[in-house]
Amino acid sequence: MKAKLTFEQELNKSLQIGDNVWYVNTTSSGSYDTASTNNNDFALLGKVISVSAPYQKAEIEVEMAGFDLPQDLGYVLDQNTFIMFSKNNKVNSSSLKGYYAELEFVNNSNKKIELFAVSSEISESSK
């Protein structure tokens, strides 16, 4: 069975066909939405079979894995669901490659936060 997920925000640029889509419900804690860190609370939705073009709505189509509807696992996919993806480690087994990287850190809270560290593993990919 296929599912189409539509997002109001721009999709992560590294999402590609063949990636696995996971989801977990969130709860409000203070002024933040939080998700469980228990692996049993994460559920595999399926493999990405299509990703919308950048100029269209942010949509991905997923071939669902092993069950008919996400509600079978007690989850409802709505604005309180955190959707994430993992890369296929058979295809993406090496470090990031390229000539530059661009990062953006966003604080969606109206309160001050501190970023203690950012690290990276960098290796020259070509010479």
pLDDT digits (tens, 9 = 90+) for 97-123: 666 777 888 888 888 888 888 887 766
Q: What is the dihedral of CA 11, 20, 68, 53, to 10 degrees?
A: 30
Every domain of the chain and the residues it spans: 2-86
CB-based contacts of 31, cutoff 8 Å, min separation 6? 109, 110, 111
Q: How many Cα neighbours within 13 Å face the side chain of 40? A: 0
Q: pLDDT (tens digit, 9 = 90+) per residue, 26-56? A: 888 888 888 877 777 788 888 999 988 656 6
Model pLDDT, residue 124: 61
Under a CB-based contact definition with an 8 Å cutoff, are residues 25 and 47 in contact? no
